[in-house]
Structure 1
Amino acid sequence: MLKEFREFALRGNMVDLAIGIIIGAAFSGLVQSIVNDIIMPIIGRITGGIDFTNKYIQLAGDPQPTLDAARKAGATIAYGNFLTLVINFIIIAWILFMIVKGMNTMKRQQKADPAPAATPEDVALLREIRDLLATRK
C-alpha cells in the first residue's frame, strides 16, 4: 500500500500539479500586489479618493454613518464591496490577459524562427557530385 501511494504521489502529473499550485499561489500574491499597490492608488487618484468598500444602501432602520452600524441596524445592501471586487477582478483579468498574450507572442516567435534543418547526408553527397559534374563541362 505504501508503494502504491508513493507511485501515485510521485506520478508526473501530480508533481506538475503541485508545482503549478505553488507557482499559482506566488503569482497570486504578485498580481494582488500589482492591483493593490500600483493600480488601485492610480484609480483612487483618478476618482478623487472614493473608497467604494463602505458604500451601501440601507433598506431598514434609521440612516447610519458606517457600514457596520447600518448592518447592525437592519437590512443593508453593501454594493461598495461588490464594486471593489468587480474592479479588482477586471484589473486582474486584464493583467493575466496581457501576460498570456505576451507569452503567446514569444512562443509564436520561437516557432517562426526555427533553425534551418540540417541537410541529410545523402542529399549533401548528391549535391556535391552534381557540382563536380557541372565544373567538368
Structure 2
Amino acid sequence: MLNDFKAFIMRGNVLDLAVAVIIGAAFSKIVTSLTEDVLMPIIGKIFGGLDFSSYFLVLSPGKVPPALVGSTDYVALKKAGVPLLGYGEFITQAVNFLIVAFIIFLLVRSVNRVLAFHHKPVEEAPKAEPADLVLLREIRDELRQRPPAA
C-alpha cells in the first residue's frame, strides 16, 4: 500500500495540483487586498459612504459587554464573543469570489487565445488511397492505352 501511495503522490497531476493550490493561496491574498482595500471602499462610497464590513446584526443584545454597547465595530464585537450576523462580511466575500472568478476567466480565455494562435491547424496530408483502388485505376489506364481491337 505504501508503494501505491508513493506512486500516486509522484504522478504529475498531483504535483501540478499542489503547485496550483500554493499559487492560488498566494493569489487569494492579492485578491483579498484588492477587494478590501480598493474595491469595497469605492463600492461603499457609491452606496453612501458606508463600509460593508460594518453591516451586521447583533443576535443576542444581552451578550454585548457593557464597554461595547452601541458599538459598530464588527471585529471588536466578534472578538468579544457576541453572536453576530455579519451580512456585510458576506457581501465582501461574495464580491471577492466574483473578482477571483472573473480574473480566472480572463486568464483562461487569454491562454486559450494564445494557444489557438500558436497552434494553427496543420493541413493534413491527403490519405493514401486503398491499394485495390490504385490497382483498378492502373488497369483502367492500361486498357485505355491499348489500341482498339479490330
- The answer as to 2:93 corresponding to 1:89 is yes
Aligned length: 119
Task: Give the Å deviation of 1:48.
Answer: 1.6
Equivalent position amino acid for 1:105 in 2: R
Whole-angstrom distance in 1 between the partners of 2:77 and 2:25: 35
Aligned partner of 1:115 among 99, 108, 120: 120
Whole-angstrom distance in 2 between the partners of 1:97 and 1:69: 31
Decide whether the 8 Å contact of 2:35 with 2:96 is kept in 1.
Answer: yes
Aligned residue in 1 for 2:133: none
Whole-angstrom distance in 1 between the partners of 2:19 and 2:78: 44
Q: 1:108 to 1:69 in 2, by over 3 A?
A: closer
Aligned residue in 1 for 2:143: none
RCO (CA 8 Å, sep 6+): is it higher in 1 or 2? Answer: 2
- Structure 2 residues without counterparts, runs of 5 or longer: 129-150
Aligned residue in 2 for 1:133: none
Name the larger-Rg structure: 2
SS of structure 1 residue aligned to 2:123: coil
The one-character-per-residue Cα deviations of 1:45-93 (angstroms, maximum 9, x if unpaired) are 2332446437443533788133657996xx95523xx223211222122
Equivalent position amino acid for 2:12 in 1: G
Whole-angstrom distance in 2 between the partners of 1:23 and 1:69: 33
Decide whether the 8 Å contact of 1:56 with 1:76 is kept in 2.
Answer: no
Q: Percent identity?
A: 28
Alignment of 1:1-137 (within 5 A): 6-46=6-46, 47-50=48-51, 52-53=53-54, 55-57=56-58, 58-60=60-62, 64-66=69-71, 77-79=83-85, 82-106=86-110, 107=112, 110-111=115-116, 115-120=120-125
Whole-angstrom distance in 2 between the partners of 1:77 and 1:102: 39
The one-character-per-residue Cα deviations of 1:96-125 (angstroms, maximum 9, x if unpaired) are 2322332443326744885242352788xx
- Structure 1 residues without counterparts, runs of 5 or longer: 124-137
Higher helix share: 1
Q: 1:51 to 1:100 in 2, by over 3 A?
A: closer
Equivalent position amino acid for 1:93 in 2: F
Task: Give the Å deviation of 1:94.
Answer: 1.5
Instruction: Judge which range, 90-99 or 60-69, deviates more.
Output: 60-69
Q: 1:60 to 1:113 in 2, by over 3 A?
A: same
Equivalent position amino acid for 2:10 in 1: L
